[in-house]
Amino acid sequence: MTGVDLDEFAALIDRPDPGLRHDAKERRKRTAAPAGTLGRLEELGDWLASVQGQVPVRPLERARVVLFAGDHGIAERNVSRRPAGSAADLVRSVLAGAGPVNVLAQQFGAGIRIVDMSLDCDPSELPQDVVRHRVRRGSGLIDVEDALSAEEAERAFLAGMAVADEEADSGTDLVLLGDLSVGGTTPAGVLIAALCGTDASVVTGRGSGIDDLAWMRKCAAIRDGLRRARPVMGDQLALLAAVGGADLAAATGFLLRCAVRKLPVVLDGVVSAACALVAQRVAFRAPDWWLAGQTAGEPGQVKALDRLSMEPLLDHGVRMGEATGALLALPLLKAAAALSAQLPELAEPS
């Protein structure tokens, strides 16, 4: 692909092979695990066979957390518990190994990659491999102005695609997609409300743990953003430019390119769910390559996953972000892969 031609994705993305799901089920019938006894692990093993393109499946050995980072101008409306422009602090914490994502990634054997798309800090403050895809510092206040210019939205989308190619080429076998943002759940709420045709109050959650007054401000910001989103509903890149942000545009491009490259992705919270919803509008087969790791108790996420016909693997109410919820699903997926790959077939009675 050169530039961004969204129509190409519908042609490039195929569904995972349903025949391999069938083959995985047939193989399981020849093992010591009677049908239904492994519960959802069976379904996950069949899914892994279809996305990997082989039976038995390969063990998951190179999982990677990918975190798109950015500051959102709407945080200036006091819609987040964190101060506006402070997402770089979250990034520094993870780089220092001090975040919950670090503990879980080490525990479960996953690497971590941070991609700065729009942090509001001097790029010299962070490592070059983090900042090299940056599009701008912060995003616009989406209640009154566009988050990005059209050119910035395209650059961010293409950057997400490039990151997907880098991960696929490096041998990553599963991505756990999250975000490091301040104010990010507000544009996510706008995108979900717009694409699901619902009211702002239905998708407004507590995000970072805001109080009632902040919730009302957030609801008003989503309502105003929704008015600005409706005129560009037919153009997904224009929608991301108007009411998204560079990190959301990048995550959307990333999800679509992962589907092209047949690289499975586990979604984390409301932000990745919103990006998945935009990506579904581009290519309706793409969600077959993704799983919802967990439900975070955010009403917007529930709405988006329902529209995507995705049932979360876990329900622990983890609202931390940083792909922590997606990481919690990794042991379950590793167990499903190991069982599917390693259970021996029984000898046929003579």
**Which residues are annotated as catalytic?**
322
Is residue 313 within 8 Å of 332, Cβ to Cβ? Answer: yes
Cα 117 to Cα 7, 169, 239: the distances in Å are: 24, 21, 17
Is residue 253 within 8 Å of 158, Cβ to Cβ? Answer: yes
Is residue 246 within 8 Å of 163, Cβ to Cβ? Answer: no
**For residue 127, is the peptide bond before it cis, meaning its omega torsion is within 30 degrees of 0?**
no
Q: What is the rounded CA–CA span in Å between residue 138 and residue 119?
A: 6
Q: What is the rounded CA–CA span in Å between residue 152 and residue 54?
A: 39
Among residues 243, 237, 233, the alpha carbon closest in space to that of 158 is found at 237
Is residue 312 within 8 Å of 294, Cβ to Cβ? Answer: yes
Cα 260 to Cα 268, 314, 330, 339: the distances in Å are: 20, 27, 22, 27
Q: What is the rounded CA–CA span in Å between residue 272 and residue 68?
A: 10
- Spatial neighbors of 309 by CB under 8 A, at least 6 apart, are 287
Q: Taking the CA of residue 84 as centre, how many other CA atoms within 13 Å lie in the half-sphere pointing to its CB?
A: 14
**CB burial class (10 A; 0-12, 13-18, 19+) of residue 76?**
middle
